[in-house]
Structure 1
């Protein structure tokens, strides 16, 4: 509540950071073993000692569980004679109520009245949201307090239509009614503890301090409800809070789909007791503690085993099949969490040892057995241990750990993995067996192993380091660091990257760029599926280590996002560390005119998208249609080592080139009598002159790159091309020989290599006006060497394939007139109907382009920078004069 925030900021012992609980993260140390039995015994064994006849801490389990209050307060001989042991804590406790009373609204006062006067079970049903009224009708849960009566300031009204059970045992939800009744049974009262601790209600503290009896901090409509026998009306712990949590935890057990909403409603009802002026924060915290222990005791009592099972099944088969229309005030998860966490400690600062290990009470796991049904009892205990509050807070450090339990956070799954955690879900059982979401920020050195079926989603900022292993079902990543800092191994399930939900190992990243990061390696067997749900350009999988691909890759484009044709990076990885190939590619969400194929690079995996309707005017200048999926034959050269950025354009040779008299693509069959180069594209004499001039000005240092060892297969050609100004390296001294080549880059290389001067512009294409290569594109377009798409675009940043390079070089020179270096090549992956079959055969026969093997060419594989330069240099050297010149470089 806003007024609570404003009030709390002014409290003397409340720091700014305490408003949001400072220790939501899992404790550093914990144990799931049973703590030592306290003097009064384990609460769930001794809960029936919560009666007036058991008069000491050692004999009454309720007194013992709340006994840390005795470090703050010593009861006196009567209701108003106790002694403050920690005045700072207790004064803050009462001042909190005073200041809240000054800031509360009319709506706050209305809720305070209804919480006070209605039966707590009826009030708790609001946590069911849309099903609240349906539940009340089907269970016979009623109230006679419909609203705040006009004369409520002078008349006390009681909810005579409500009982502790809060319903009819013979109704359609009678077993649920009976479960609430047994949890709120004969041993669940706070009255014995009120009498034992004898701590006054806050308005009596204020009246005593002010010497009045005005009850000014109590909501006016509740003044008639003030008890006239204060000796029987202690404040600690809050009975309404205790009853509200008991009813809410019972309903949460039967309807775990509303677990956190029920808890939030219980905390709201407890908080309303402070708003009303009837109770203090410590009263409410004590009521929550006692109720948590009492609910666990009743639910773990063997006598109630059949009833709790019947209540759960009845709620699932009757209530959960209904459609409700009630207002759901607890639909905002973020608000629920903030409110609940604030009410765990109410801004108190630790006053004791903050380093004590978290302990988990005996049988506490029963509180979550329907919420986390796929986990074993010891596993749930570990969940409770890794989500508990830190030690040191007033009241909460009971020896069994009831005060430190954070059930809201525990419903979000583990807070840490200390060792390997195996989750085995069975989707056929439905409910949380089939699908669950862990929202916590999971830390620890342990790992997650997912087995069975069903889907487990992870949305936290996780840092666990042991890795993730998927043996079955689906693991969905809903945050960028969902899989922590370790490796991911998918042996037989689905890993899904999904920005807004869904997936198998689903990467479903909330907000941001949608990029899922795997801190180690990613490997997938033939039985695994990796599903990437793409809604934006950055919605990718980033693997810091290596990728070992296998099985199925499924790429779903969603939310109306469709990338432009060309290469779309789906997986990035550490350079040069990939292996394997996906056996199958599946895509969805793409237009019918798109085809898709996979490309494997040193730095990742790309999805090459081809728009089959955008056919260029000259075949071979754009990515041709691909097979749409399946395996991809690797290129013969090493894969790239860094992201592609256009190299700095190099000034072309200064010798002018006589422009052709008839622009356009020349006839590839027209032989030249004096030169193998096409005379209407290249002037051989002018080319030789420009190359001679460039060679004369070359430095011996040109062509030396830090990432190009002398043994690299393309080093000689690259060195020659760099000295001639055909290509340049990068500012950091690298060449990146394995980086893919874009259409703009290859066009510039061709122009520089064959002495073709840049044109004034490339205005014919709408997407090249601002391109660094616009002049080169314009010049080669005018010569008919390159062409654009039917939509008027050139797509300068799209990558170019090996087949396209062959087609473009065919337009520059007469491949058919070049001397063959071997018998005509026949490649099994270049069928006769392939659009570039003819030029591929000619280029391979002339020795300009090699196959990946004796029987494969990989025509649609992206070309590398080294391959592009080798093609240009080899083509130049088919002229004997040029060859002799280059031999001297």
Structure 2
């Protein structure tokens, strides 16, 4: 076996306490131990002569068996095969990397390079770990994961803890090895009725706590999969193991790994002393963190991306702690994502999830004094000095990197077939889209195929919900967006931040406002019929023509580049500044029909000089005129000057 792993930049990910600072809490109520498996759990899927999986990653994309969301109740300890347990099945991409043996320490390594990198990554991370990072890993380990998820709420965090009566006994970590095992609980002196985890079900946010508890309820344990795969935790594969069971003896039937993984001293007494019942894949803490985060994100979608980043941080801390490896936390994410979708997709949960969202919205709007339309802004009003997740781009970067870590793609790309029910996790974040549209969002934002482990049946590991929260990444067909501002929240106003490609067309209807900010290249065109469509970048409206027959097209960028532009019985809203660039740069024709209104605002930072003409639009040809011009500056008038290829605006004192 090669001892030199491929070169990987293992420290590039945001891993320290700066990323998950003080006040972060992780839920760490251990999942109950179940009976040790007595036979190799996955023998029926392994070729007994070669040890190779009978399936290949190329076949996973064509999986047509029973949907996970319909069969997740098979996830019980008694079921430990891919055929009998839906959770074991969706994780079976791991069989292309590792094959289970009859005992905990004699499985077969299928992909040596990947599993060596897996150990090397853990060794590098734990070897460079600071005391602060070790303490944070302890807090994440010992706190209840549902309590930990609350830390993603930012400015709403303290309000949530008060309303839910959510408390924890784990508020700090020792400098070294504690005297014994430590568990979370309700601390002495906590308010009457308090509960750890997501809070008390009879509190002001009791329905939200119930939703979190339900998502983390029956059939959501990682234990059956741990027993099925029997992949050891990284510290049990050290050359000089700290664990007495190995005594330095090579595990897995191969020479011991040179990479030494160091468990955080604070967690040395928290380890199980029964390795056969304590597998690493998938991580139970990671699974629980994702379950709790998705549940809270459903109830409080105003912090959707931040809550998912929080789950990513908690999961990553398992590697920092030395308790798990990359493949373990990747498996935990896949399992937690699928289980959260399955529970929320279950008709029996319909009222619970609706009540949780309704109660959260009512509670936070009352507690903050803002409307539903203003809650998103309130939930993002603090900077990184007080909100650990205020930097959206930093969140996105580490979230995206941790979807794959060092895993490398192979083979050609295969289309993403979104697993049944996956769209439910976007119901409150994209409420104005229907289920099929949410599925298309997930399909267009998913990771490429070919990553090991992620490429299992139904491909839950390819889903990228952080990116999906920012709307489509492609218009593969025409898209109609109907937003009802009366429903408030994201239905009143939302922003799609992805770069959107494809050949489709977008039609905007309804009274709400949609903002596009990406460097978009979709070619099917834009039709605005109602409400407001805001263009916040030069290429926000893609490479096709733009037609506005109702509502308002608002140009928030300094200049909007278009192929063609037509407007009638609608408004164009622009902001003029002293830079002298036309608000509309149109390659072909501008057509202004009856009822075309121009609304002008002046840039307060760069106001134009009175009496000076500024370009409004440039095109190959301009036909027609605006029927009305509205200027938002009292005491001044706006005069339009038309030529064959140019429209200019002169601002004068009245």
Say whether the fold is shared (TM-score over 0.5): yes
Write the mapping of 1:366-765 to structure 2, written as runs, cut at 5 A. 366-498=424-556, 509=557, 514-518=558-562, 520-525=563-568, 527-537=569-579, 538=581, 540-550=583-593, 551-575=596-620, 577-589=621-633, 592=635, 594-611=636-653
Deviation of the 1:366 alpha carbon: 0.5
Deviation of the 1:383 alpha carbon: 0.4
Whether the 8 Å contact between 1:476 and 1:495 is mirrored in structure 2 is yes
Whether the 8 Å contact between 1:515 and 1:539 is mirrored in structure 2 is yes
TM-score (norm 1): 0.62
Cα distance in 2 for partners of 1:367, 1:340 equals 17
Partner of 2:164: 139
Q: Which residue, 399, 413, 416 being the options, matches 1:340?
A: 399
Q: 1:19 to 1:230 in 2, by over 3 A?
A: closer
Cα distance in 2 for partners of 1:133, 1:152 equals 31
Q: 1:206 to 1:320 in 2, by over 3 A?
A: farther
Deviation of the 1:409 alpha carbon: 0.6
Whether the 8 Å contact between 1:391 and 1:404 is mirrored in structure 2 is yes
Partner of 2:387: 328
Whether the 8 Å contact between 1:480 and 1:516 is mirrored in structure 2 is yes
Write the mapping of 1:724-873 to structure 2, written as runs, cut at 5 A. none
| 2:234 is the alignment partner of 1:202 | yes
Q: 1:443 to 1:432 in 2, by over 3 A?
A: same
SS at match of 1:322: helix
Write the mapping of 1:64-463 to structure 2, written as runs, cut at 5 A. 64-149=89-174, 152-161=177-186, 166-207=198-239, 212=248, 217-323=262-368, 327-351=386-410, 353-463=411-521
Whether the 8 Å contact between 2:142 and 2:184 is mirrored in structure 1 is yes
Cα distance in 2 for partners of 1:265, 1:378 equals 28
Whether the 8 Å contact between 1:204 and 1:215 is mirrored in structure 2 is no
Deviation of the 1:209 alpha carbon: 7.2
Cα distance in 1 for partners of 2:186, 2:282 equals 25
Partner of 1:12: 6
TM-score (norm 2): 0.83
SS at match of 1:599: strand
Cα distance in 2 for partners of 1:299, 1:164 equals 22
Q: 1:271 to 1:354 in 2, by over 3 A?
A: farther
- Number of aligned pairs? 569
Q: 1:234 to 1:475 in 2, by over 3 A?
A: same
Segments of structure 1 that go 5 or more residues without pairing to the other structure are 1-9, 21-33, 499-508, 613-889
| 2:77 is the alignment partner of 1:52 | yes
SS at match of 1:287: helix
Higher radius of gyration, 1 or 2: 1
**CA shift digits 1:289-344 (9 cap, x unpaired):** 00111011100111111111111100000134323899321111111100100110
Deviation of the 1:46 alpha carbon: 0.4
Cα distance in 2 for partners of 1:388, 1:45 equals 22
SS at match of 1:578: strand
Whether the 8 Å contact between 1:567 and 1:606 is mirrored in structure 2 is no
Deviation of the 1:15 alpha carbon: 7.7
Cα distance in 1 for partners of 2:261, 2:13 equals 27
Instruction: Give runs of ≥4 in structure 1 deviating > 6 Å.
Output: none
Whether the 8 Å contact between 1:496 and 1:530 is mirrored in structure 2 is yes
Whether the 8 Å contact between 2:5 and 2:116 is mirrored in structure 1 is no
Whether the 8 Å contact between 1:383 and 1:414 is mirrored in structure 2 is yes
Partner of 2:17: none
Cα distance in 2 for partners of 1:106, 1:455 equals 48
SS at match of 1:571: strand
Whether the 8 Å contact between 1:412 and 1:440 is mirrored in structure 2 is yes
Deviation of the 1:416 alpha carbon: 0.4
Which one scores higher on RCO, CA 8 angstroms, separation ≥ 6? 2
Whether the 8 Å contact between 2:91 and 2:457 is mirrored in structure 1 is no
SS at match of 2:457: coil
